[in-house]
A and B are shown apart, each in its own frame.
Chain A
Amino acid sequence: MRDTATSNGLWRTALPPVLLGLIVVAIWQLAVTALEIKPFILPGPFAIGEQFSANLANVWAGMVVTGRNALIGLIVGAILGILAAIVSALLRVFDEMAAPIVAAIAVVPIVALAPVLYTMFGAAAETARQIVAGLAVFVPVYFNTLKGLRMVSPVHRDLMRSYAASSWQATKTVTLPTATPYVFTGLRIASSLAVISSLIAEYFGGPVGGLGKSITSAAASSNYGLAWAYVLGSILLGLLFYCAALGLEKLVTRRRSG
């Protein structure tokens, strides 16, 4: 009984988007064929699929390069964001000093830093892209973590005080666990940002091999189907990061719904 219900539920959740996707692909292909749209404007989905499977190894290699940059940026940015948020939560002075700087980072289009960073770290290194991804990740992780750290309920704060707990003990036993769901919300947002920003950063220079570079070079050589195949690879990479973050979030916070 229960199994049927669950699989029915899964069907009901999965079926509509899959159906919609298939319909969109069909209309797309139909429009491209019927209206004879030129491939440099929009190639049909089957052409893209063909290019994708023909260049699977290249697309995969691009995904690895860009994904690696995004992952390094994500990890470093998230760690720094969490640490900075903890310091801000503990020291009001630091929070007040950091607030305008973080706001500035949030406002600046971070990928715009890429050209500057390429000259700083050399155009042959991936460092600039990792830094761009890290900065993009830092902001949502910092803000969400800081918000979470301030969500401690008054009764828990009283309890910690009544136990004469040191501020580190209170942070470890109450504040951090309270903040955890918020941290993961930040990470989920940051996971997509990491991929997007490390990919866009490739447009501004640096070594070849990543998805961003591959998209521009394929488009430049009029290989539109291939360019779209790399775009497909980027979407898959973004989805992979997002789903990984979501899965981690579900795993860690499943006991907190009460």
Chain B
Amino acid sequence: MSVHTEGTPPARTPAAGMPTPAASASAAATAPTASVLPNRAPVIPAVEVTGVSRIFPGKKGATVTALDTVSMTVAPGEFVSLIGPSGCGKSTLMRLIADLDSPTTGSITVFGKPARQARIDQDYGIAFQQAGLLPWRTVAGNIELPLELHGVGKAARRSRVAELIELVGLSDFANHFPDQLSGGMQQRVAIARSLAESPSLLLMDEPFGALDEMTRERMQNELVRICGETGAAVVFVTHSIPEAVFLSDRVVVMSPRPGRIRDVLTVTLGDTGERGENLREEEQFFRAVSHVRELLHGDSTGGEASGGARGVDVR
């Protein structure tokens, strides 16, 4: 097995995990072990973000508030999109959930554990805007990377990789190198890699951002199918409204400077399994799209928008 020098396996005590929670009252309230919450629903949420702020130090002592007391919950198996203009902190929020960065205040738990412990325990898979493949490894070599790092045996690795390549439809390309693939194919490899360890949570940061519209829609169809098959919860960062509506159970609309959650829209377009090409032509799809657009532009339509929102936003 691999040795993680990065973190001592025993979970950090909550007190140590939240160095400065006193600033935020809500964070202080949830700080004592998020895993022991007798008053909450029995189902442990896949992601729970409570009063999270992220303030970056700027030039000459100025600070940039990327996220301002954001709270949200993602249920197991739920597909949640974060949408907003650039600079609204959606990617920052995803990076915080992935523990690639730490919140300035507030707390984040993933399956009831602090984000850091969840990362060490490999509770999530992640895909970025750039495919981020290792150019000196073949498609198969890239997909098996996480398995290899975590000490999975060679035979088990091979069969899992074969499964995943099949899943993303690249069986003929197992021994190709990334530079021989199109952008869409590279992104599919990255998605296969993020699924390698069958995570119950997928974090995706604009994975289709660099693709053309046709490839993009095909990839969305595939993602919907894959999520249906794996039952993973997904946090999906995007700036495409139709993409967010098509994929999601809920769309979290964010506003910039400082990054806040403006509203949360529940999209009821049927189970992931039933979504298909035709959905994009349907009346309710267009309604949801224009609803999200109104929310994004944030004009006086706030009142009517609250009909679709679910009250997870603690501002």
Contacts and interface: CB of A to CB of B under 8 A. Distances in A.
- The answer to whether A and B interact is yes
Interface of A: 153, 155-156, 158-159, 161-169, 173-174, 177, 180, 255-258
B136 A155 contact: no
Contacts of B100: 158, 161-162
B158 interface: no
Interface stretch (B35-43, B144-152, B245-253): B144-152
Which residue, of B3, B5, B135, B149, has the highest number of chain A Cβ atoms within 10 A? B149
A257 to B, nearest CB: 7
A247 B57 CA distance: 48
B4 interface: yes
Interface string B96-107: 001110000000
27 contacts: A155-B128, A156-B134, A158-B98, A158-B126, A159-B132, A161-B119, A162-B100, A163-B149, A164-B7, A164-B120, A164-B122, A165-B2, A165-B4, A165-B6, A165-B149, A166-B2, A166-B3, A166-B4, A166-B5, A167-B5, A173-B134, A173-B149, A177-B134, A180-B136, A255-B135, A255-B136, A257-B179
Given A153-B132, A174-B134, A164 B179 contact: no
A163 B3 CA distance: 12
Contacts of B7: 164
Contact of A255 (B119, B124, B130, B177): B177
Given A257-B179, A258-B178, A173 B145 contact: yes
Interface of chain A, main secondary structure:
helix
Contacts of B230: none
Contacts of A168: 5
Contacts of B130: 155
Nearest to B186: A258
Interface string B172-201: 000001111000000000000000000000
B132 A155 contact: yes
Contacts of A153: 132
Contacts of B178: 258
B127 to A, nearest CB: 10
Interface in B49-107: 95, 98-100
A257 B124 CA distance: 32
Contact of A164 (B6, B136, B145, B177): B6
Category for how many chain B residues contact A: 20 to 34
A161 B5 CA distance: 12
Nearest to B145: A173
Nearest to A181: B136
Contacts of B98: 158, 162
Contacts of A180: 136
Nearest to B122: A164
Contact of B128 (A158, A169, A258): A158
A171 to B, nearest CB: 12
Contacts of B99: 161-162
Contacts of B136: 177, 180, 255-256
A164 B4 contact: yes
A110 to B, nearest CB: 34
A23 to B, nearest CB: 41
Given A165-B149, A177-B136, A255-B177, A159 B126 contact: yes
B116 to A, nearest CB: 9
A166 B2 CA distance: 8
B11 to A, nearest CB: 14
A169 B177 CA distance: 22
Nearest to B120: A164
B180 A163 contact: no
A203 B91 CA distance: 63
A34 to B, nearest CB: 56
B135 A163 contact: no
A158 B128 CA distance: 9
A164 B132 contact: no
A182 to B, nearest CB: 14
A72 to B, nearest CB: 30
A169 B149 contact: yes
B41 to A, nearest CB: 28
Interface in B109-137: 119-120, 122, 124, 126, 128, 130, 132, 134-136
Nearest to A167: B5
B180 A156 contact: no
B128 A163 contact: no
Contacts of A164: 4, 6-7, 119-120, 122
Contacts of B126: 158-159, 162
Contact of B135 (A155, A158, A258): A258
B177 A258 contact: yes
Contacts of B150: 163
A199 to B, nearest CB: 36
Nearest to A159: B132
A161 to B, nearest CB: 6
A20 to B, nearest CB: 36
B312 to A, nearest CB: 25
Contacts of A166: 2-6
B314 to A, nearest CB: 28
Interface in B1-38: 2-7
B98 to A, nearest CB: 6
Given A158-B100, A169-B149, A258-B178, A163 B134 contact: no
